[in-house]
Chains A and B, each alone.
Chain A
Amino acid sequence: MIRPALFWPLLLAAGTLTTVIGAGRVRSAEARLASAVMRLEQVAHKTRELADLSGKQERIGTQERPRQDVLALLNSVMAEAGVPSASFRSLDVEADVAVRIGTGAEAGRYRRQSLSLVLERLSPAQLGAFLEIWRARQRLWIPTRLELTHVRDPRAPQNLYSARILVTATYLDS
């Protein structure tokens, strides 16, 4: 049995304690919820950015691309542009150099690799289609030098050209 003199202080103390603990739990739950909502917003923002970036074409490689990578692309573009496979002459590594874009940590962050591609006996229409499809298909390998030379062939029904195309890709120097 609680003594009457202690009853009210105990009741008020218990009530105050209850209120303080309850308010603390509410504050804590509010903070947890606010943090979760903020995290959801951040994640949603990042996934939107991810979807947006995924929809864009690759402009910078994350690593050096093997020659086979370009060969596969070349075959695919030639087929779509109606360029016969017999037109393909060679694909050679031309250069792989560091790109200096400043000083300190930024310097040497990127490299550029170039491959030289030779196609022979292309009609102007085939060449145009090839370049257009090449550009539409990807934005990583960019033709940076074009050398078109007229092929003298009296038997050919139209002008034919041999093309040496230097394609260059930028990638992150890991």
Chain B
Amino acid sequence: MNSAAQVASHTLRWPAERFYWGVLDASILPSQLGSPTEQLHYLFEPLVPEVLEDLHVVFHSLGRRRYIACAIPRKVLEEEVDASAVRLIPAALPTFVTADFPLESLNLLTREFTPRTVRMARHRLGREIAAVVATSFLVLWIGFSRRVNAMDERHEQVSQRIGEVYEQALGAPSVNASLPPSLQLEARLRSLRHSRVIDPALEPIADASLQLQNLLASWPAAVPVETESIHISSDAMHVVGVLRSTSDVQLLVNALEGLEGWELRPPAVRSSTKAIRATLQFRRREESPR
């Protein structure tokens, strides 16, 4: 037997004549009812021949602020209702009531007359719902805690990795180190940035050894020159050499005048009986990078 059938078997259906009835018009009451049942009691009280305190009343809304009241003496409920009953409902509505609604909504076994079995079932259901709700919150808390623990564990790993990275970069931490690793790294970086990278605003220094290398790369190997001196600075080059003839001087000039970034001035040539002494002067072109 299912629960609906069980409820049906324990439902008492008494004839309508055993109840007091009333159709109440609540439109005369304030629209915002403080306690609707209490207000309806006042409307119902003049309609019954007994003191209202001796009756057990239930109400059902018929719509448009109309209510049907159904009452039965408390004494009857205490003496005549079987302990196994779970519901007491009228078998039919009185003839003067034309409304159509399920009679189950006029169950008289409510409030203090709620059967013990129903009360226990409700308590059991309440405990089960409470247990489910509490378990849900507990599961939620455990989930949060597990997530927090996992993230804390990952945080610990990341912190450890940071320590390893510092150690790889800075070496094993010293007991006497006055600065934390982050500041040590920053200080070392700052120093390296200053010392390894040329400030673009700083005028570059011309490397004279590279200038010499460029000069000698263009030097004509076929022309015999006894080089007396070579002076190289950032903006000028001076070459003094002794050659056999003016044609050799011309060959030397031809070879060196195309030196990139440098302008060759007209050579100074002094002739003697044995040889020719030539002085070549180069000036750095203004647009040429150092």
Chain A contact residues, CB within 8 Å of chain B? 7-8, 11-12, 14-15, 18-19, 22-23, 25-26, 29-30, 32-33, 36-37, 39-40, 43-44, 46-47, 49-51, 53-54, 56-62, 99, 101-102, 106, 110, 112, 131-132, 134-135, 142-150, 159, 165-166, 168, 170, 172
- A144 near B134 with CB under 8 A, answer no
Contact A146/B189 with A18-B137, A33-B154 known, Cβ cut-off 8 Å: no
Q: B162, A14: Cβ atoms under 8 Å?
A: no
Q: A144 and B165: CB pair below 8 A?
A: no
Kindly list chain A residues whose C-beta atoms are within 8 Å of the C-beta of B151.
Answer: 26, 29-30, 32-33
Interfacial residues of chain B within 57-113, with CB under 8 A of chain A in the complex: none
Q: Interface residues, chain B, CB within 8 Å of chain A?
A: 130, 133-134, 136-137, 140-141, 143-145, 147-148, 151-152, 154-155, 158-159, 161-162, 165-166, 168-169, 182, 185-186, 188-189, 191-199, 201-203, 205-213, 226-234
Tell whether, in the assembled complex, residue A142 and residue B198 are in contact, meaning their CB atoms are under 8 Å apart.
no
Q: Which residues of B contact A59 (CB under 8 A)?
A: 195-198
Contacting pair A145 B162 (CB below 8 A): no
Do B201 and A106 touch across chains, with their CB atoms under 8 A apart? yes
Distance in Å: Cβ of A171 to nearest Cβ of chain B:
9
CA distance A106 to B188 in the complex (A): 21
Contact yes or no, B195 A60, CB < 8 A? yes
Contacting residue for B185 out of A47, A132, A147, A165, CB 8 A: A47
Q: Is A146 within 8 A of B230, CB to CB?
A: yes
Q: How far is the CB of A157 from chain B (nearest CB, A)?
A: 15
Contacts A26-B144, A26-B148, A47-B168; is A62 near B233 (CB within 8 Å)?
no
Contacts of B188 in A (CB 8 A): 50
Say whether, besides A43-B165, A50-B188, A15 and B199 are in contact (CB < 8 Å). no
> With A and B bound together, what is the CA distance between A170 and B207 in angstroms?
13
Chain B min CB distance to A34 (Å):
9
In the bound complex, residues from chain B placing their C-beta under 8 Å from that of A40 are 158, 161-162, 165
Q: Which residues of A contact B209 (CB under 8 A)?
A: 131-132, 134-135, 143, 146
Residues on A with beta carbons closer than 8 Å to the beta carbon of B165: 40, 43-44, 47
Cα-based distance from A33 to B258 in the complex (angstroms): 64
Q: Give the nearest-CB partner of A56 in chain B.
A: B196
CB pair B196–A53 under 8 Å, yes or no, is yes
Q: Provide the bound-state CA to CA distance between A77 and B193, in Å.
A: 27
Q: A29-B152, A170-B202 are in contact. Are A36 and B189 (CB under 8 A)?
A: no
Given pairs A60-B196, A147-B232, 15 additional interface contacts (CB within 8 A): A25-B144, A26-B144, A29-B151, A40-B161, A40-B165, A47-B168, A47-B169, A50-B169, A50-B192, A106-B201, A144-B205, A144-B233, A146-B231, A159-B226, A168-B205
